[in-house]
Amino acid sequence: MNPKNFFTELKRRHVYKVAIAYGVVAWLLMQVASQIFPFFEIPNWAVRLVVLLLIIGFPVALILAWAFELTPEGLKRTAVADATSAPRSRSRAWIYVVLIAGALSAGLFFLGRFTASTKQSVSAEVSSKSIAVLPFENLSRDPDNAYFAAGIQDEILTRIAKIGALKVISRVSTRQYSARPENLSEIAHQLGVANILEGSVQRAANQVHVNVQLVSAATEEHLWAESYDRKLENIFGVEAEVATAVAEALKAKLTGAEQHALEQKPTNNPQAYDAYLRGIALYGEAYTLDEISKSRQPFEEAVRLDPNFAMAWAMLVRLYSGWYFWLEAKPTLREAAQKSLETALRLRPDLPEVQLAQAFYQYFVLRDLEGARPNFERLLTKLPNDTDIPSTLAIIALRQGRWDEGRVFVDRAIELNPRDRDLRHEAAWTREATRDFAGALRCYDEALSIWPENPYLIAGKASVYQSLGELDQADALLQKLHPTAKNAYGLIAGGIYDQAKLRRRYTDTIELLRSLLAQAGSLPVATRSYRLMLSELERLSGDVVRAKASYAQARGELEQALKEQPDDAWLFEDLAKVYAGLGDGQLAMKYVERAISLEPVSKDAWGGPRHEYQRGKIAARFGQKDLAISILAHLLTIPCGVTPAWLRLDPDFDALRGDPRFQKLSSTSPNTADK
């Protein structure tokens, strides 16, 4: 049989049709096996078996199609077209069938191998050397010892995190889980790890019992487990042993420096270490001013008991520096941070934790971005799983105008700390500032899939729609918020305030702000913020008398704060708003220019443009149209929160509406993604 007759015979015997039908059905069955089997937790070998059987069955189906045909009378042997050449043709035909079927089977096999390797590469994104340390269970009779279990867990996590060959999830992301959860595979999926470390701690007087076990999340197989009974003064050795054992179980090679770091004993004083653990537990949960103040006390107790406790001094540096930067820029806090740093550097200048504290001091207290940045970068290798390092490098990059680099660092921090809401918001805001609104919305949607009711994320997503001028969508989100004095400060109250301005509907928000002020109590930062927003809305609503009274009260609060924090640029900007509201354009411009001198765009690409934007508003309100339009035109060309939609909708620019230059700015801009 020549090739032409052979292919004619294939067609006559419907072999082509069988091959196509088999291929379609086989592909469908493979998809069902690969997608449905894992959902019902059917082992992977079952999926591979189905694929293997389908591949083997393909040449069998072709051979049967050649030899038999389906008739109304049933399955019959296929008649040969030319009887005289039947023996020779049939013998050669079988060879052709086997060769073609074999070729197709080989093709399917390699396609299967390719598909399998692709799937393996996808699953390989979750490294086998990745681990999350879940909260340790407190088995002590005294519930007040819960801090001790939390502290031991944190110290073990800290030591494991120093191993560069491992990916270790931050405690911020793991603390929300229970000590012994049932759904390990789901937790591992949420955290992006392959392994889970569980443990329990029982303390009675000076005796400590620690039990730990390393579990493979996919199979729930125990890779390693151990129990330790030690006296409190010897607990440090347990932490080092656990970290080393985890590295061995996961085949993560330790460098000599890493092994040395794991074996370091922070203090010889068990009481000082106990106080340190209490401080670590409190510091990890501290958000408000009162909570941060309380977390300071155990660290101070630790260094009182052991003045040579360098790690406790380093934690005091970080605590005071962050307090100074984020909450109150008081000279007393600056001095306390400086003294703690000097002591820590004298004791252990080689300790990575001390070097990290020094970098935070440079950034938070000295505002020395150029000096802090290389120090943080050097620590990326010494503390490879510390999420504070890439997240801070992200902020430094943003302040220095390196926006792409900032995004990379934020995303890197999220990989190690996937359940940190602040990082998720930072990732979204970074994209919003560069006018990547689609990317910002995607970041918020990803975060809201984890925390669907979180008011800060809802308010953040609403801000994107406000930047786009899509106020109906922003309204729909903001209506879900129920602000209180405890949660409204910052993004939530700010989002509601912005919406009231852009919608020019003031009454409800004025009443809300008055209610929040009545509840604010002893929160000076929140009080000033609420008061200033209230003043602005009262002015815009036409309530001149109340607006002047509110502005006057806000001025007194801000001037008092400025005495304690004389270099705070945001206090100067707020005072500029106050004087503008009181009708004094000259003083308003003086104060906003002081804010700009403290945080110019050239030194702070994050905060600087916001001061410039306020300067543009003041210029517009007091008749300096050329200056206002020049400022706004520049801001639309750089990353910041200014968009044409804001210019179109903000009532503070009403004085510019008749100017064709402003009309052009508020309608289109070549460097904005606004609609």
What is the secondary structure of 62-89 as a DSSP string?
HHHHHHEEEETTEEEEPPPS-GGGHHHH
The yes-or-no verdict on residue 271 having pLDDT over 50 is: yes
In sequence order, the 6+-apart residues with CB closer than 8 A to the CB of 535 are 547, 550, 551, 554, 578, 581
Look at residue 374 in the predicted model and tell me its pLDDT. Answer: 96
Look at residue 18 in the predicted model and tell me its pLDDT. Answer: 67
CATH 3.40.50.10070 fits 130-265, yes or no: yes
* Residue 145: pLDDT band with limits 50, 70, 90: confident
Helices (H), 491-603: 491-503, 507-520, 524-540, 544-564, 569-581, 585-598
* Residue 111: pLDDT band with limits 50, 70, 90: very low
Look at residue 491 in the predicted model and tell me its pLDDT. Answer: 81
The yes-or-no verdict on residue 87 having pLDDT over 50 is: no
Q: What is the pLDDT of residues 198-234, one digit of tens each?
A: 999 998 888 899 999 999 998 888 999 999 998 877 7
The yes-or-no verdict on residue 14 having pLDDT over 80 is: no
User: Of 102, 26, 18, whose CA–CA distance to 67 is shortest?
Assistant: 18
Output the average pLDDT for the chain: 85
Cα–Cα dist 167/246, whole Å: 12
State the residue for tokens 């977390």. 295
Look at residue 68 in the predicted model and tell me its pLDDT. Answer: 64
Look at residue 262 in the predicted model and tell me its pLDDT. Answer: 86
The yes-or-no verdict on residue 609 having pLDDT over 60 is: yes
User: Could you give phi then psi for residue 484, rounded to 5 degrees?
Assistant: -130, 170
Buried b (16+ CB within 10 A) or exposed e, 23-57: eeebeeebeebbeeeeeeeeeeeebeebbeebbee
CB-count burial class (<10 Å; 0-12, 13-18, 19+) for 149? buried
Look at residue 121 in the predicted model and tell me its pLDDT. Answer: 35
Q: Which range has the worst mean pLDDT, 12-21, 118-127, 279-288, 639-648?
A: 118-127
In sequence order, the 6+-apart residues with CB closer than 8 A to the CB of 59 are 98, 101, 102, 104, 105
Q: What percent of the chain has pLDDT over 70?
A: 81
Cα–Cα dist 30/52, whole Å: 10
Contact present, 292 and 286 (Cβ < 8 Å): yes
Cα–Cα dist 641/604, whole Å: 14
Q: What percent of the chain has pLDDT over 90?
A: 60
The yes-or-no verdict on residue 80 having pLDDT over 70 is: no
Question: How far does Cα 149 stand from its chain's mean position?
Answer: 26
The yes-or-no verdict on residue 115 having pLDDT over 90 is: no
Q: Which range has the worst mean pLDDT, 11-15, 280-284, 389-393, 588-592?
A: 11-15
CB-count burial class (<10 Å; 0-12, 13-18, 19+) for 15? buried
The yes-or-no verdict on residue 119 having pLDDT over 50 is: no
Q: What is the pLDDT of residues 558-578, one digit of tens each?
A: 999 898 888 889 999 999 999
The yes-or-no verdict on residue 32 having pLDDT over 90 is: no
Choose between 85 and 524: higher pLDDT: 524
Q: What is the 3-state secondary structure (H, E, C) of 407-456?
A: HHHHHHHHHHCCCCHHHHHHHHHHHHHCCCHHHHHHHHHHHHHHCCCCHH
Look at residue 351 in the predicted model and tell me its pLDDT. Answer: 95
User: Of 285, 286, 275, whose CA–CA distance to 309 is shortest?
Assistant: 275
The yes-or-no verdict on residue 113 having pLDDT over 50 is: no
CATH number of 272-386: 1.25.40.10
* Residue 135: pLDDT band with limits 50, 70, 90: very high
Cα–Cα dist 43/36, whole Å: 11
The yes-or-no verdict on residue 75 having pLDDT over 60 is: no
Taking residues 473-481, report their average pLDDT: 95
Taking residues 541-546, report their average pLDDT: 96
The yes-or-no verdict on residue 90 having pLDDT over 80 is: no
What token pair was written down for 151? 């502290």
* Residue 592: pLDDT band with limits 50, 70, 90: very high
The yes-or-no verdict on residue 486 having pLDDT over 90 is: no
The yes-or-no verdict on residue 532 having pLDDT over 80 is: yes
Look at residue 110 in the predicted model and tell me its pLDDT. Answer: 46
In sequence order, the 6+-apart residues with CB closer than 8 A to the CB of 262 are 159, 162, 163, 240, 243, 244, 254
Q: What 3-state DSSP class applies to 197?
A: strand
The yes-or-no verdict on residue 290 having pLDDT over 90 is: no
* Residue 478: pLDDT band with limits 50, 70, 90: very high
Choose between 492 and 117: higher pLDDT: 492
Look at residue 42 in the predicted model and tell me its pLDDT. Answer: 56
Contact present, 602 and 636 (Cβ < 8 Å): no
Q: What is the pLDDT of residues 355-369, one digit of tens each?
A: 999 999 999 999 999
Sign of CA dihedral 324, 328, 329, 333: negative
The yes-or-no verdict on residue 123 having pLDDT over 60 is: no
The yes-or-no verdict on residue 88 having pLDDT over 50 is: no
Using alpha carbons only, give the angle 78, 80, 81 rounded to the nearest 5 degrees. Answer: 125
Look at residue 507 in the predicted model and tell me its pLDDT. Answer: 96
> Which residue spans within 116-194 are E strands per DSSP?
130-133, 137-138, 167-168
DSSP 22-37: HHHHHHHHHHHHHHHH
The yes-or-no verdict on residue 160 having pLDDT over 80 is: yes
Taking residues 303-307, report their average pLDDT: 97
The yes-or-no verdict on residue 105 having pLDDT over 80 is: no
Q: Which range has the worst mean pLDDT, 293-302, 391-400, 520-529?
A: 520-529
Look at residue 263 in the predicted model and tell me its pLDDT. Answer: 83
The number of CA neighbours under 13 Å toward the Cβ of 144 is 3
Domain boundaries, the chain: 3-123, 130-265, 272-386, 592-675
Look at residue 264 in the predicted model and tell me its pLDDT. Answer: 85
For helices 437-450 and 421-433, angle between their N-to-C axes, nearest 10 degrees: 170
* Residue 291: pLDDT band with limits 50, 70, 90: confident
Strands 222-231, 207-216: pairing kind: antiparallel
Look at residue 89 in the predicted model and tell me its pLDDT. Answer: 45
User: Could you give phi then psi for residue 657, rounded to 5 degrees?
Assistant: -60, -30
Using alpha carbons only, give the angle 83, 87, 93 rounded to the nearest 5 degrees. Answer: 100
Contact present, 462 and 495 (Cβ < 8 Å): yes
Look at residue 564 in the predicted model and tell me its pLDDT. Answer: 84
Choose between 363 and 117: higher pLDDT: 363
Taking residues 96-110, report their average pLDDT: 50
